[in-house]
């Protein structure tokens, strides 16, 4: 990160690689410094991920945490520790507690099953809806294929069992929540809960499926930029690059 400019820190989804953020990152780099905080391929629980990511957060200037789907609870856990320099949190198609009705019961059932890789057709249906994209589908398939099945299962269970509502309520920075209007995986109730638990939440609706950062990268970047311009950093340095 170049001194005096805020860093947009992208927390990847379930795959943990950031490969699926390439379109969004390209859009954000028009105005911001960006970095992707990849995950240890063997870590499945949020507590372990947060513990290892804390030392990797920027130490020399302002930054913003941006997280989609699985990464939302992780961003909340990190923000709740109030790292110096954190200016805002952005969540998209995400959640603060189990996003599925009866999620904990479902997790108990999955716990007894052997680790399985979800079929491509199901992932495309849930994540892309009618916005089928062959290149994106292949990226998704390739990144998941590189993940150990045990890690994939552990992260799915972590999402189904998660509840970081208490940590969410303690935040002290602005929060932007992007709702994907055609999301087949995360219901709008997830965003309702976040807004209920944390008053300093702004909600924006984006015409996209669950893969909002992938399918609607340009629109998402525009919303993020507009939000951050309304919440300039409290320390020296320009949040947005001067053009």
Domain 7-230 sits in CATH at: 3.40.50.1820
When the pLDDT of each residue in the chain is averaged and rounded to a whole number, the result is 89
Q: Are 32 and 66 in contact (CB under 8 A)?
A: no
Q: Are 73 and 95 in contact (CB under 8 A)?
A: yes
Q: Are 92 and 12 in contact (CB under 8 A)?
A: no
204 falls in which pLDDT band (50, 70, 90)?
very high
Residue 184 structure tokens: 């087949």
- Residue 243 burial (CB < 10 Å; 0-12/13-18/19+)? exposed
| Residue 24 φ then ψ, to 5° | -65, -45
Q: What is the pLDDT of residues 46-70, one digit of tens each?
A: 999 999 999 999 988 899 999 999 9
237 falls in which pLDDT band (50, 70, 90)?
very low
List the beta strands (DSSP E) in 48-107: 63-68, 86-92
The widest CA-to-CA distance across the chain, in whole angstroms, is 55
Domain boundaries, the chain: 7-230
Q: Are 234 and 1 in contact (CB under 8 A)?
A: no
CA distance 127 to 186: 10
Residue 203 structure tokens: 């909600």
Please report the pLDDT score of residue 5 as a whole number: 57
| Residue 194 φ then ψ, to 5° | -60, -45
What are the counts of helices (DSSP H) followed by strands (DSSP E) for the chain? 11, 6
Q: Are 211 and 66 in contact (CB under 8 A)?
A: no
Residue 210 structure tokens: 């669950």
CA distance 242 to 43: 38
Q: What is the pLDDT of residues 123-138, one digit of tens each?
A: 888 898 888 777 888 8
């Amino acid at each position: 990160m170049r001194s005096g400019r805020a860093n947009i820190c992208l927390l990847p989804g379930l795959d943990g690689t950031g490969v699926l953020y390439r379109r969004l990152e390209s859009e954000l780099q028009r105005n911001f410094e960006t970095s992707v905080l990849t995950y240890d391929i063997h870590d499945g629980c949020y507590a372990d991920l947060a513990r290892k990511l804390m030392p990797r957060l920027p130490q020399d200037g302002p930054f913003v945490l941006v997280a989609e789907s699985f990464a939302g609870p992780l961003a909340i856990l990190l923000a709740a520790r109030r790292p110096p320099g954190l200016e805002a949190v952005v969540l998209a198609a995400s959640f603060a507690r189990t996003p599925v009705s009866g999620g904990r019961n479902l997790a108990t059932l999955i716990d007894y099953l052997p680790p399985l890789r979800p079929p491509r057709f199901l992932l495309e249906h849930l994540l892309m809806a009618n916005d089928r994209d062959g290149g994106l589908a292949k990226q998704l398939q390739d990144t998941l294929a590189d993940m150990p099945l045990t890690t994939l299962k552990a992260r799915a269970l972590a999402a189904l069992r998660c509840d970081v509502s208490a940590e969410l309520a303690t935040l002290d920075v602005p929060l932007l929540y992007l709702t994907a209007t055609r999301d087949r995986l995360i219901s709008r109730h997830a965003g309702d809960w976040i807004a209920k638990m944390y008053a300093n939440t702004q909600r924006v609706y984006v015409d996209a499926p669950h893969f909002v950062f992938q399918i609607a990268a340009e629109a998402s970047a525009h919303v993020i930029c507009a939000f951050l311009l309304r919440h300039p950093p409290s320390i020296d340095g320009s949040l947005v690059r001067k053009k």
